[in-house]
Amino acid sequence: MNIDEIHTPVLLERCVELLAPALDQPGAVLVDATLGMAGHSEAFLTRFPGLTVVGLDRDLEALSIAEERLKPFRDRIHLVHTVYDGIREALDSLGIDEVQGVFFDLGVSSLQLDRVERGFSYSKDAPLDMRMDNTSDLTAEHILATYSESELRRIFHEYGEEKLAARYAKAIVEARATAPLVRSAELVAILTKVTPVVVQRTGHPAKRVFQALRIEVNQELSVLERAIPAALDAVAVHGRIVVEAYQSLEDRIVKKALARVSTSSAPAGLPIELPEHKPLFTQLIRGAELASEEEKARNPRATSVRLRAAERLRRAG
């Protein structure tokens, strides 16, 4: 398998640029919290010869590919099978107290999208799996078979921001009464059948439902809500965090977490900001940075990316 043919890291040069001031020093440690096939980590290790990378991933296949890819740097990597909210436990297991950088490339990975049998894509027929970690138990098939109509409606609405959530949930419950849903093509057919033609012209009927199912299967948002604060806590003074998000729900969580730590805690009206109220971090990008048209043309997966970054100014207390 040619890794480069199926994996082009998003905004690679920009991520290197943002992390460079923190990583370009002997003994620097970076946590790649979403290692995937290690495209970003390979670049970080190449550019910064004094860097050690702690790579986290819940996907055992991705870890295996990353380990092979990073063989030239084997003395400077630690790969850990864990979901990224386990960042503190992973660092503790390695005897690492704080790090100079943390990097997140959120969402479904190139490997997961391109492996048809994983069931992440609505455009190709596959088992309704969608697990990022195939050692976990919950699958999309199980959700579609066991969740109530109201539960399905909720996840489609909350995680897919789907306006037809109620209609889709009802159609799924009616269909499964006749036969269980086990293939992605079966689900796509059900959704397409109950979607008005005018709506189908604006986008694929299954896109948001598949996103919602994937998020529910992997508990992506609740994991992220725990992971970002844990990552921020691990960053040393003058260390940096860089996060790439690909949909609004993820980006909202990142935005709020960074705003919390980069805002003064001083009560309104105080004439002088006391040191203990000064922000812990400063944001390095105003708002979220998007990919250029050139980057989008070169790498279609950069189309929806939202990039945010921050640097730690001080420790609390």
| pLDDT tens string 248-300 | 999 999 999 999 999 976 666 666 666 666 899 999 999 999 999 999 999 98
Pairing of strands 281-283, 235-245: unpaired
Q: Where in the chain is the domain with CATH 3.40.50.150?
A: 3-111+220-312
Query: What is the average pLDDT value for the chain, to the nearest integer?
Result: 92
Ligand-binding annotation for 57, yes or no, is yes
* Residue 210 to residue 62: CA distance in whole angstroms: 21
Q: 27 near 50, Cβ under 8 Å?
A: yes
- Would you say domain 118-218 falls under CATH 1.10.150.170? yes
What's the pLDDT score for residue 280?
Answer: 95
Query: Any binding-site annotation on 39?
Result: yes
On whether the CB atoms of residues 163 and 189 are closer than 8 A, the answer is: no
pLDDT at 203 over 70: yes
pLDDT of residue 1: 43
Which residue(s) pair with 56 in the sheet?
80
CA distances from 247 to 18, 19, 73, 250 (A): 21, 23, 32, 6
CB contact at 8 A, 34 and 105: yes
Strand ranges inside 124-249, DSSP E: 235-245
160 known member of a binding site: no
Ranges 21-35, 39-53, 145-159, 198-212: which has the least confidence: 198-212
CA pair distance 41, 9, nearest whole angstrom: 10
CATH topology of domain 3-111+220-312: Rossmann fold (3.40.50)
Average pLDDT over residues 231-244: 98
In the chain, residues under CATH classification 1.10.150.170 are 118-218
- What is the per-residue pLDDT for 4? 46
Q: For the chain, give the percent of residues with pLDDT over 70.
A: 91
Q: Is 112 annotated as a binding residue?
A: yes
38 is in an annotated binding site: yes
pTM attached to this predicted model: 0.90
The answer to whether residue 225 scores a pLDDT higher than 90 is yes
Say what the pLDDT of residue 8 is: 79
Q: Which two tokens stand for residue 240?
A: 């940096």
Q: Which helix (H) or strand (E) holds 48?
A: none
